[in-house]
Amino acid sequence: MRPTYPARSGPFIRRDFIALLAGLLLLVAISDARAETCPTSADELATDRPDVTNSSLVVPTGSFQSENGVNLTSQNGGRTLDGSNTRWRLGVAPCLEVFVDLPNYVGSIRGSAASGFTDIAPAVKWQVSPLPGKVDLSFVVGAALPTGAAEVAGRGTQPYLQMPWSVELHDGWGISGMFTEFFRPAETDTKHVTEATFVLEKKLNEKLSLFTEYVGDYPEHAGPVQLINSGGLYHLSPKEQIDFHVAFGLNHNSPTYIVGVGYSFRIDGLFDGARDWRRASR
């Protein structure tokens, strides 16, 4: 899920960026991910919301997934409402998806906070799991393109590298997390932000799961933004989900609170017609 507090990302070519990219490519090259280990249309919907931590699993090949939500945020005495937080995800090959975060409107309903649309942000996600220890792991490369209001989304193109991971424990318990490097070359002060998250999740039954999450943003030359985010998700069907979350800031740089709800769904079999045509033409 894209965070709802002020935008922070963007490309600033530095040695640590090159090192991260090299490490990403190396891990992908040595991974033993095979098509049979990646999600299929028989698997239950797995979304990147309502927590900030994204799923370590990709969308099945030939599946389209739409994730949506609305948030109410309070910070510095003001309040903003934002939506629809839409992410469109498409499985284009085994273990590989492309997705795009559509422009999200942020509107001030109390106070003097800026209003306007966020940037459109395309990305590619490659699942390289399972790894030893039953760790699911993916790598994401994306960028926010300068299509939104600078006061809301920031200035210039803003690329990022991301690594979501997860481990299933036992009795419905699981842990997950995500490391992200954001780059903001057009900004005058903070050109680089590191984000780290950690989630403890409990699956109560086949339809209902709850979670508690730590989110920490550590910008260059500025104080951190830290949140505790908790919520849950309920599967209306194997391909439909509703969710909610409530977050509280841990320091003065953070929002006082964020409350959000969402709805997601998946449509499978988009490539079946092309596959049948190829078979018939042989």
22-75 confidence digits (pLDDT tens): 555 555 544 444 566 889 999 999 999 999 999 999 999 999 999 999 999 999
Mean pLDDT for all residues in the chain: 89
At residue 12, the pLDDT reads: 38
Q: Looking at the domain that runs over 15-39+46-281, which CATH code has it been given?
A: 2.40.160.40
At residue 276, the pLDDT reads: 57
Instruction: Give ∠ CA 197-181-138 in degrees, rounded to 5.
Output: 65
- Between the alpha carbon of residue 94 and those of residues 19, 48, 168, 270, the distances in Å are 27, 19, 22, 14
CB count within 10 Å of CB 207 equals 14
At residue 9, the pLDDT reads: 36
Which contiguous run of DSSP H or E holds residue 16? helix 15-30
- CA separation for the pair 10, 26 (Å, rounded): 23
| pLDDT over threshold 50, residue 5 | no
Question: Could you tell me which residues come within 8 angstroms of residue 105 by beta carbon, excluding any fewer than 6 positions away?
Answer: 82, 83, 84, 115, 116, 117, 118
Q: Which residues pair with 276 in a beta bridge?
A: none
At residue 4, the pLDDT reads: 45
> What ranges do the domains of the chain cover?
15-39+46-281
> What's the number of CA atoms in the CB half-sphere (13 Å) around residue 47?
32
| pLDDT over threshold 80, residue 90 | yes
DSSP 3-state assignment of 81?
strand
At residue 131, the pLDDT reads: 76
How many helices (DSSP H) and strands (DSSP E) are in the chain?
A: 3, 14
